[in-house]
Amino acid sequence: MARLPAVGWYLLPLCAAAVVVCSLKHKQQQQQQQHQQQTKKDDLSLWIDEQQVKMYSGLKMPIYAIMEGKVTPYILDKNFEQYLPVIPSEVGYVNFTWMSGNKNYFYMFDTLDSDDKNILEPPTVTVKTDGKIPKRPKVFSILLPCSGNRSGIASFNIRLLIRNRKGRALPDTPLKVKLRKECMVRGTSKSTSLDLVCDKKCENNGWCNADKICQCPEGYMGQYCKTALCYPQCMNNGTCIAPGVCRCPQGFQGPHCEGGICAEKCLNGGKCIQKDTCQCPKGFYGLRCEYSKCIIPCLNGGKCKGVNKCRCIFGFQGDHCEIGQPIKQYYNCKRPCRHGYCTANRTCRCQQGWFGKFCQRKILKPKHDNHRPGYPHSCEDDDDDMDDYDEVPKSHHRWH
């Protein structure tokens, strides 16, 4: 029987359940639309990206575990574990993407364990086991290292806890997943004789197992071990030509084709993102980020943050930060005081109009003309500041 390409692993732990619960063909267009909308949402999401799904299934669609702050229904299916295939031996990791949007969520992998350590070592993650979920989309991986001692199939367990800034658990979490991983040690096949014809078909040092199926070495996959695996994946339509080696299309460079090639250097902190295209920081524009939105430069360490709009460091004010004098600052606060300065007692003292532990929240003027005493004011988070805020909040919540 011909072996199907090794596609099961990427379903870990979501796609296989989605295949069983609903028709992928029907969901393809629907989830593509959801994915486009999701990038504009402001709440928690966790998914396998569409390029990774297409790489192993042919369907270009994302598969979500969490969308808009809610765990997707098929993750909660009581028969979820029965739907999941065995992860093939040639695949040693699976990638996920997550983001918290404009909200703050904190995570903890409190269980990463293998039921048979003679076959499979406990899985690991490429992020800290606890911390803050990034606001913008970022990729992390679950690594599945075989022990190399014995061939076989071993189960492993993953449990992920998620809570908000107040320490409250996300509904339907922690996420609990039990999966199976195949490991193969060369020379332990049950076959009494080598199938030389099969061995010749297996490329890149692959070999035949007892079922006359090519067993691929780490870094390759496919029916005859022809497909190389790159982690992270090659970006911008790059091609993986060997394990961890990307061939980049014209106009791109970098280990994963993540960077562009600009004939002229991007200025003022700009970043080359594709051929002759610069991504400019706030306050600058132009093909090379050569123009400032502030006609008169910001003085005394101020930064241009909009059209003729300077953000001044504490102690200075004015349209161009030209008024004032520097204030002695200390540098022993846990995080930078964005709109204030660090005092000797390790706390932030905020500029007028700002508040919060790190002076990251702005007091807004009432939208109404009614300024009667007691009329409520609103506030907003400074996105730049909150990206820097990664302290896990203290909580008396007890996880079960």
Residue 55 has pLDDT above 50, yes or no: yes
301, part of any domain: no
Among 271, 291, 311, the domain-final residue is 291
pLDDT one-digit tens code per residue, 329-371: 556 677 778 777 787 777 888 887 888 888 888 887 655 544 4
Say yes or no: 68 and 178 in one domain.
yes
| Range with lowest mean pLDDT among 107-116, 302-311, 336-345, 390-399 | 390-399
More confident residue, 2 or 198: 198
345, part of any domain: yes
| Per-residue confidence band for 10, with pLDDT thresholds at 50, 70 and 90 | very low
pLDDT given at position 113: 93
Residue 40 has pLDDT above 50, yes or no: no
Whole-model pTM: value is 0.47
Say yes or no: 146 and 20 in one domain.
yes
Residue 316 has pLDDT above 50, yes or no: yes
134, part of any domain: yes
> Residue 169 belongs to a domain with what CATH number?
2.60.40.2170
Q: For every residue of the chain, which 3-state class applies, written as one string?
A: CCCCCCCHHHHCCCHHHHHHHCCHHHHHHHHHHHHHHHCCCCCCEEEECHHHHHHHHCCCCCEEEEECCEECHHHHCCCHHHHCCCECCCCCEEEEEEECCCCCEEEEEEEEEECCCCCECCCEECCCCEEECCCCCEEEEEECCECCCCCEEEEEEEEEEEEECCCCECCCCCEEEEEEEEECCCCCCCCCCCCHHHHHHCCCCCEECCCCCEECCCCEECCCCCEECCCCCCCCCCEEEECCEEECCCCEECCCCCEECCCCCCCCCCEEEECCEEECCCCEECCCCCEECCCCCCCCCCEEEECCEEECCCCEECCCCCEECCCCCCCCCCCCCCCEEECCCCCEEECCCEECCCCCEEEECCCCCCCCCCCCCEEEECHHHHHHCCCCCCCCCCCC
Residue 102 has pLDDT above 60, yes or no: yes
Quote the domain boundaries for residue 16: 8-185
Task: Indicate the number of domains in the chain.
Answer: 3
| Per-residue confidence band for 18, with pLDDT thresholds at 50, 70 and 90 | very low
Among 185, 208, 234, the domain-final residue is 185
Say yes or no: 266 and 169 in one domain.
no
Can you tell me the mean pLDDT for 168-196? 72
Residue 27 has pLDDT above 50, yes or no: no
| Per-residue confidence band for 120, with pLDDT thresholds at 50, 70 and 90 | very high
180, part of any domain: yes
Can you tell me the mean pLDDT for 373-397? 43
208, part of any domain: no
| Per-residue confidence band for 209, with pLDDT thresholds at 50, 70 and 90 | confident
| Range with lowest mean pLDDT among 21-25, 231-235, 250-254 | 21-25
Say yes or no: 58 and 112 in one domain.
yes
Residue 139 has pLDDT above 80, yes or no: yes
| Range with lowest mean pLDDT among 134-148, 158-172, 208-222 | 208-222
Say yes or no: 177 and 83 in one domain.
yes
Say yes or no: 59 and 148 in one domain.
yes
Among 163, 185, 207, the domain-final residue is 185
> Residue 356 belongs to a domain with what CATH number?
2.10.25
122, part of any domain: yes
